Amino acid sequence: MMLSILTRNRWCCWLGLLIGMAVLVVGCHRSSPSSDLSATSQDCRLVQHEKGTTEICGQPQSVAALSPHILDSILALGVQPAAYAESKNLNLKIFDQPKEQIPYIGKWVTTQPIALGDRKSPSLECLAQLKPDLILGEDWLTGDSYALLSQIAPTLLFTDTQADGTQAWQKDIPEIAKALDKEDKAEQLLASFPQQIETARSALQSVIAAYPRILLISSDLTSYTSIAPDSTTGRLLQEIGFDVVRIEGVESEAEISFEALPQLKADIIIVLSWDEALLFDPEDEVKAKWDKNPLLSSMPAAKADRVYFVDYQLWGSNIRGPLTDRLILEALPDLLLSSVRGN
């Protein structure tokens, strides 16, 4: 009799666990209507990514984007997300107002994607409930979860890190586009980029001539400060023709003390501002800290009003993609031309 009771209790525990898991999955709010890729052997192609080569057939209709960089890339290719993982967990179930909820590139989102939480640990439960046609992510963020992700849907993990260590969407956009059956759109993006650079270069010629050396600082001006020549903005400024300040023998993004900053000769300083408590728009808080620091506010560029504060989320390396580059290149003239006005 006692054995029977123990056996029954054990089964009840297992049943409770299974019910709990089911409730957790249902808690992800909604499922995606199943999509028919209608694939034939002619529709299939092999896509290379950081975990190997995966065969993708047809044109995926339900795509999960596991980071801002991936979201930027697929939006630029004309694909809308069914699910999305932001750079931090916003405690949302759905991005029902993506223009306001997704910084900078949300205005291009026309769907209401399921929120997957943090890009470093996207919700596997929500993905399992969604059953997407395709999962796209970055290897450095979700590489350890590749096996689990691949059990949910075909998963491709990419890197945009180039041979010189800088990150650029040109590195992985061809294969991302191949996975989405949007290779012609990727070719258009790659072909139009040089003209975007030339337009910005032409608009900023007077600034390049007068103030060529630009120092990029990544900081919250409280806990951590580094120079960021290899950030998205640093890469674009170099392509435009500016001399982006580096420290010989010091790795990009390495921490640097406030006392060392005045030793760096710079005509212009751009502070890539961030705050752990804010997803975006921390510039006012960081500027206030700068103004209160006698060492920083006495730097020659600061005295000449040539220190500019921008959001790391866009201008640093959080998003990174064709849309990010476009937004920065369009904003740079308005930001920097004040340096030469009135001279």
93 and 174 share a domain? yes
In the predicted structure, residue 30 carries a pLDDT above the cut 90: no
Same domain, 288 and 330: yes
**What is the dihedral angle through the alpha carbons of 272, 293, 287, 86, rounded to the nearest 10 degrees?**
50
Q: End-to-end CA distance of the chain, in Å?
A: 96
38 pLDDT exceeds 60? no
Residues in the chain: 343
Domain span including residue 136 = 41-181
Position of tokens 């199943």? 34
Last-in-domain residue among 181, 198, 230: 181
Residue 12 lies in a domain: no
pLDDT at 286 over 60: yes
State CA 259 to chain mean position distance: 31
* Rounded CA separation 187/192 (Å): 9
* Rounded average pLDDT over 251-271: 89
Q: What is the DSSP letter of 58?
A: S
| Whether residue 254 has pLDDT greater than 90 | no
- Reported as a single tens digit per residue, the pLDDT across 213-238 is 999 999 999 988 999 999 999 999 99
What region does 273 belong to: left with phi over 0, alpha with psi -120 to 50, or beta? beta
For residue 326, is it within any domain? yes
Q: Which of 136, 133, 122, 131 is nearest to 85 (CA)?
A: 122
pLDDT band of residue 34 (cuts 50, 70, 90) is very low
Mean pLDDT across 70-96? 96
Alpha helix ranges (H) inside the chain = 2-26, 68-76, 98-101, 124-130, 139-142, 146-152, 173-180, 183-203, 205-210, 232-240, 283-292, 294-297, 300-303, 312-315, 322-336
Q: How big is the CA angle at 173 (ends 168 and 174), to the nearest 5 degrees?
A: 130
Residues 158 and 282 in one domain: no
**Residue 108 predicted with pLDDT over 50:** yes
The pair of three-digit structure tokens given for residue 303, joined into one six-digit string = 């005295």
When pLDDT is cut at 50, 70 and 90, the band that residue 47 belongs to is: very high
Nearest Cα neighbor of 170 from 182, 187, 145 is 187
What are the CA-CA distances from residue 269 to residues 59, 217, 283 (Å)? 45, 7, 14
243 bridge partner residues: 213
In a domain, 137, yes or no: yes
Q: Choose one of 181, 216, 235: the last residue of a domain.
A: 181
pLDDT at 279 over 80: no
Question: Is 55 in the same domain as 163?
Answer: yes
> Which residues are registered as beta bridge partners of 309?
271
Same structural domain for residues 240 and 309?
yes
My answer on whether 130 and 248 are in the same domain is no
Structure confidence by residue, pLDDT tens digits, 60-81:
999 999 999 999 999 999 999 9
Query: Is 149 inside any structural domain?
Result: yes
Strand partners, 57: 44
Q: What CATH number has the domain bearing residue 327?
A: 3.40.50.1980
Percent of the chain's residues with pLDDT above 70: 87
Which amino acid would we find at residue 239?
A: E
Residues 210 and 159 in one domain: no
Same domain, 245 and 162: no
Same domain, 289 and 217: yes
Residue 291 placed within a domain: yes
> Model pTM?
0.87
pLDDT tens sequence across 289-320: 999 999 999 999 999 999 999 999 999 989 99
* Alpha-carbon gap, residue 168 to 231, rounded angstroms: 9
Helix (H, G, I), strand (E, B) or coil at 270: strand
Is residue 33 assigned to a domain?
no
Do 174 and 303 lie in one domain? The reply is: no
Asked if pLDDT for residue 106 goes beyond 80, the answer is: yes
How many independent structural domains does the chain possess? 2
Query: Do 101 and 158 belong to one domain?
Result: yes
Examine the pLDDT at 25 and tell me if it is beyond 80: no
Is residue 134 assigned to a domain? Answer: yes
270 vs 308: CA distance, rounded Å: 5
3-state helix, strand, coil in the chain (%, to 5): 45, 15, 35
Asked if the structure places residue 13 within a domain, the reply is no
Which of 41-55, 100-114, 177-191 has the least mean pLDDT?
41-55
Q: Is residue 124 classed exposed, middle or buried when 0-12, 13-18 and 19+ CB atoms within 10 A define those classes? A: middle
pLDDT at 28: 60
Per-residue pLDDT of 178-221, as tens digits, reads: 999 999 999 999 999 999 999 999 999 999 999 999 999 999 99
Q: Are residues 125 and 256 in the same domain?
A: no
